[in-house]
Structure 1
Amino acid sequence: MSSFNRRFLLLALPALAACGFEPVYVTGGSAEGLRGSILVDEPTTQDGFNLVTQLEQRLGRAQAPVYGMSVTLEVEEKGLAISGSNDITRYNVLGTAVYVLRNLGSNEQVYKGTVNTFTAYSASAQPVATLAAKRDASERLMTALADKITTDLLINSGKF
C-alpha cells in the first residue's frame, strides 16, 4: 500500500506544477517579503489588541515595515437559544474585519479585503462563568479573523 502512495505522490507533483501551484514561502515566492514587513495600526479596543497580537504572531512583528495596515472591526452578539423561562442560554458572536494595506512610502492603498466569521458561547447561571465564556469566545473570534486575514494576504500577495 505504501508503494501506491509513493506512486500517487510522484504522479501528483507534476499535476500540481502544471496547474500553477506554487508555495508562497519558497525563495522567490510571492509572500517571501511579507513576513515582518506589515505594521498594523495601534489597537483601541480589547478585541483590536487581540487581533493585532494574533496578526503579529502570523505575519511577524514589523522590523523594517514596508506596509501599514488599518483594520476596522465590527463585532455583534446575537442570542441563539432561549430557555423556557425566556433566558438566553447561547450566544453567537459575529465578527467582520475590513482591512486596508497601504505602502508606507507613498501612503497609497495597495490592497483591501474583508473577512468575517463567527463563534459562540453558552450562558450560565453563574455570571463569572458567563463572562469568562464571553471573553474566550471573543479571543477565539479574533484568532479566526487573524487566520482569515493572513490567508487572504498570502493568497493575494502577488498583487501588491
Structure 2
Amino acid sequence: MRRGAILLALCALPAISACGLQPMYAGGASSGVAQGLAAVDVPPIPGRDGWLVRNALRDRLGVANAGQGDATPRYRLDVRLDDALEALGVLNDDTISRERRILRSRYQLIDLATGEILLDATAGSDAGIDVVSSEYATIAAEQRALENLAQDVADRMATRIALVLRERERAGGAQ
C-alpha cells in the first residue's frame, strides 16, 4: 500500500508543476513586483483608523524601507475608510452585550506617469466585541479590534495591489 502511494505521488509531480502557479515575489526585493510595491506612495489617511491602515500598508508594501535610494513614487494609492461600531446583542434592560466593529476601505491605485487608474477596489473586515461591565475593558477591546482590522484590511489591499502589479509586469506595462 505504501509503494502505491509513493508511485501515485511521483506520477502527480508533473501535473502539479504544470498548474501555472508561480511565486509572487520570485527574485526577492529585486523582483518587479517588490520594486513596484515599494514605488507606491500612500498619502496620509485621516483619523486614527487611517493612521493605522497607512502604517500597515507602508510596512506591507516595503515603502518604509524604500526611502534611501530612488524615492520617486510611480504609483499613488488613494484610500477612503469607513469605520463603524454597531450594537449586536441587546439585553432585556436595553443594555448592549455585544458589538461589531466594521472597517471598510475604498482604494484606487493610480499610475502617476499616465494618470490611469490601475485598480479601483474595496476591502473590508469586521470583528465582534463583548461588552463587559468594565468600561475600560470594553474601550480597550474596541481599540484592539480596530488595530487588528487595520492590519487585515492592509493585508487584503497589499495582496490585491501586488496581483495588479504582477499582471502589469507580465503584460509589459511596467516601466
Q: When the two structures are superposed, what TM-score results if normalisation uses the length of structure 1? A: 0.84
The residue that corresponds to 2:153 in the other structure is 145
Q: Note if 1:48 corresponds to 2:53.
A: no
Distance 1:139 1:108, change over 3 A: same
Amino acid at match of 2:47: T
Aligned equivalent of 2:121: 113
CA contact (8 A) 2:37 2:162 kept: no
Alpha carbons 1:23, 1:29 under 8 Å: kept:
no
Match of 1:90 in 2: 98
Aligned to 2:173: none
TM-score (norm: length of structure 2): 0.78
Once superposed, what is the RMSD of the aligned Cα atoms?
Answer: 2.5
More deviation in 30-39 or 96-105?
Answer: 30-39
Query: Which residues of 2 match residues 71-86 of structure 1 at below 5 A?
Result: 71-86=79-94
Query: Which position in structure 1 is the counterpart of 2:15?
Result: 15
Shift of residue 145 of structure 1?
Answer: 0.4
1:13 Cα offset (Å): 5.0
SS in 1 for 2:38: coil
Q: CA offset at residue 157 of structure 1? A: 2.2
Q: 1:51-101: CA deviations, max 9, x gaps?
A: 011111111125332111010111222211112321111111122111111
* Alignment pair present for 1:37 and 2:39: yes
The unaligned stretches of length 5 or more in structure 2 are 169-175
Please report how far the alpha carbon of residue 33 of structure 1 lies from its aligned counterpart in structure 2 after TM superposition: 2.5
Deviation by residue 1:10-30 (Cα, 9 ceiling, x = unmatched): 655533442221111013866
Deviates more, 1:19-28 or 1:73-82: 19-28
Flag the 1:122–1:111 CA change in 2: closer, same or farther, 3 A: same
Is the 1:31–1:158 contact (alpha carbons within 8 Å) kept by the matching residues of 2? yes
Tell me if structure 2 keeps the 8 A contact 1:48–1:73: yes
> Is the partner of 2:36 in helix, strand or coil?
coil
Aligned length: 158
In structure 2, do the counterparts of structure 1 residues 148 and 79 end up closer, same or farther at CA, with 3 Å as the change threshold? same
Preserved contact between residue 96 and residue 131 of structure 2 (Cα < 8 Å): yes
Q: How many Å separate the matches in 2 of 1:17 and 1:30?
A: 23
Q: Which structure's residues are more often helix, by fraction?
A: 2
Amino acid at match of 1:72: R
| Greater C-alpha radius of gyration | 2
The alignment partner of 1:43 has SS state of coil
Q: Aligned partners of 1:119 and 1:13: how far apart in 2?
A: 40
Contact 1:26 1:32 in 2 (8 A): no
